[in-house]
Structure 1
Amino acid sequence: MDIHRWCVETKVRVVPPVKSQTVGGWFSLHSSCTPYQVICLRFKMMSDGKDVPKDGRNHRAVEEGMMVVEAEGEMHDDHWVLDDRMKRMIMDLQRHWLTDYQQSREKLLVEMTERLHQEFLSDQQKIRTELLTQFKDELDTTRAELEEKYRESLKVELGKMAEKHRKEISSIKKKQWCWQCEAEAIYHCCWNTAYCSVECQQSHWATHRKFCRRKKQNASTHQQQQQQQKNNN
């Protein structure tokens, strides 16, 4: 904080550097005094003016109840005489600065907390999104690998089943099957009809007799034999 600005806000009049300071409605101090020196003032109550220099410099005698302010640092040899009103002004200024500091500190802490919380939420959402994306990619990759694996396995199984089916069909074609019970036939009736037993043939004869070629062949053969006998006679 600039010393001139501070003096204006606290109604302290700045005068050119002089060797003496006076006490009155305005407080006179060296313009070279820094805010740090003002804040670090060491107050001490004096009942007489024995600590005020008596070397001829134009200092006002310190009255009872007044305060002599001695600055630390380069201005250690100079004294400022303060009355109670000036002391209260400085103490009010100190309280104002402390209050402003506390309020600013609390405000900054709240803002920092909110910012950190927002950053945490943002980072958490970012991590969640990255994890979901990574999980989806891994899931898609695993699904593609499993589909390819099962596709190859299914292809091999289909090949085996097709070969087995072909062999079974080939084996079945080499056999005849009973028209009645579909068991393997051992008795041949006509060119495309066979039976597994006599019982099946007898049971199926009522249906098969209309289409049996063996009967027709026998009748035709019998007619040919009769015609041949007539011709011989």
Structure 2
Amino acid sequence: MNSSCSPVGLRRHQDSFTSETSGQLHLGDIRTASPRRHQDNFTSETSGQLHLGDIRTTSPRRPDVSEVKSSFTSDSFTSETSGQLHLGDIRTTSPRRHQDSFTSETSGRLHLGDIRTTSPRRHQDSFTSETSGQLHLGDIRTTSPRRHQDNFTSETSGQLHLGDIRTTSPRRHQDDFTSETSGQLHLGDIRTTSPRRHQDNFTSETSGQLHLGDIRTTSPRRHQDNFTSETSGRLHLGDIRTTSPRRHQDNFTSET
């Protein structure tokens, strides 16, 4: 690990994921650091004309409010695709009894998404995506507790799509997502900052005939997010983002 990186601990904890695709292949990796003896390693290599996703997670374990206030968490994800391949990823953080599942299957020249979830208690996020033809699928991001707002708008034009989400939640928390599509490609990005001095950055640029999608979620309790998307032909589909304080469930299915 780079010695220049600041030590990992309950504070100043950072997850970085960078993926670059060239030609018709991609490769993704994950690096995560977590508060207490928690480490997730994931490396994926694709060969042929397909790609595969990734997950990175980190979880502290019910940190004290005072600790949360003074702690700084940063998740960064950047992906660039070129050619006819794409990539998808997840990053999650949770207090305890936290589990991350990721499955990806690629067929033909397309790839499919991933799931990542994090929850303090009985919180589950599920995301499944299947792409067929020469297109990919969307994304989800959610955040909740109180005073939260979720906006989602998606527009498709020609052989491209675009989707965006904007949500703001808990306290001093803001999620911004803007995506612009041009020609036969799309691009989506998300930027979110949440509860307390916590920031997630996600930027993706696609060029060629593929796009990328992702999810990141965080929830307070009994919060569940479901997202399923199937794309067929040369089009892509939208996205979901949900946030809920309690016993709140968001379901989104899209078919193009």
TM range (shorter): under 0.3
Higher normalized helix content (fraction of residues): 1
TM-score, length basis structure 1:
0.20
Q: Which has the larger radius of gyration?
A: 1
Higher RCO structure (Cα 8 Å, ≥6 apart)? 2
TM-score, length basis structure 2:
0.19
